[in-house]
Amino acid sequence: MPASREVVFVDGVRTPFGRSGPKGLYAETRADDMVVRVIRELMRRNPGLPPERVDEVAIAATTQIGDQGLTIGRSAAVLAGLPKSVPGYAIDRMCAGAMTAVTTVAGGISFGAYDVAIAGGVEHMGRHPMGEGVDPNPRFLSERLVDGSALIMGMTAENLHDRYPSITKGRADAFAVASQEKAAKAYADGKIQPDLVPMAARKAAEGWGLATADEAPRPGTTLEALGGLKTPFRPHGRVTAGNASGINDGATGCLVAAQEIAEELGLPARMRLVSYAFAGVDPEVMGIGPIPSTERALRLAGLSIDDIGLFEINEAFAVQVLAFLEHFGIADDDPRVNPYGGAIAFGHPLASSGVRLMIQLAREFAERPDVRYGITTMCVGMGMGGTVIWENLA
């Protein structure tokens, strides 16, 4: 049996993220076709990788039905033109699907079962709303295993505000405005575009179009505008459409490999996987999930929070990021946190978002050779958190 091997992040790409709904970019585009576009772009960008050397394709989706079903890792690999010898499978850990796809294939690479793998995720929330077709067991409520709010993500965010009374609506709105401003600056500075793959999208009424940029960002968002938004989850609540991520469609993918294989094939190694951890929390406050998962990942890596020079935290809700920052004693506007902005601006197509965090961290690492360690972390529906710690190879 081979000794465990170092695992590196080679490259990552994503489609522009669209707004879900009949007017969104991808209203009439299939989810599996978005994955195909990502896989083909990964192969195009890395011509040194022979397609037959891809050992696995792991693709996540939260709602695994329709065009997101049919063990999408395998079906998308075939549709993308990879050799039929390349296997694939599907993963579901809700919002952390793509993150789990990466950590799962990374374990296989470290163990020696794979040399190179593709991992990613897709969510077409316009075609498949979160929870479509599910049948929650009545025992969850009848036996009080969870509170009734646990299955409605916005209500779990309101619960988190209750738990952290210092996190006011004003703080959440200010964080959301900053996310929009950082995303607009990242676009203006050309930081996001290099890892977007243009996606052809057709609508019966309009014909063919080309999606080349994220649809969700709202540059110019002001505190005043956010202050007037409704609080749909609770009267006089604190969670609004402005300080939460939207409902989105999009796909992500990345190449991960054993470090020695990347060197052999001449593939770039942008970052090394140091450690990862997942943790469970009360589903009613699922937003605190990244706190225990990060503590565990740091412990496994022998690091402290002070060793981390960059944080990519998925902004499902502003309150959830602020709770993480408050716990670790990090300022709301710390420049290490989401320097390009986050999901409040870009959107959060559930299972795909974990790899977006990694794509942005790898780009930030390249700019910051002075930073050694970074984190990608996110909260997960049903009360979980996931964290991956990366080392900068730039």
Q: Which residues are catalytic?
A: 95, 348, 379
The angle subtended at Cα 110 by Cα 348 and Cα 120, nearest 5°, is: 20
CA-to-CA distance for 97 and 101, rounded, in angstroms?
Answer: 6
Beta bridge partners of 8: 257, 272
Beta bridge partners of 248: 19
Report the sign of the C-alpha dihedral through residues 102, 283, 126, 88, in that order. positive
CA-to-CA distance for 56 and 74, rounded, in angstroms?
Answer: 9
Buried b (16+ CB within 10 A) or exposed e, 291-329: bbbbbbbbeebebeeeebbbbbbbbbbbbbbbbbbbbbe
CA 118 distance to own-chain centroid? 15
Residues 6+ apart with CB under 8 A from 315: 179, 245, 321, 338, 342, 343, 344, 348
How many Cα atoms occupy the beta-carbon half-sphere of 256 within 13 Å?
33
Distances in Å between the Cα of 84 and the Cα atoms of 55, 57, 75 are 11, 12, 10
383 phi-psi bin (left φ>0, alpha ψ -120 to 50, beta other): left
Strands 373-380 and 308-313 turn out to be parallel
N-terminal to C-terminal alpha carbon distance within the chain: 31
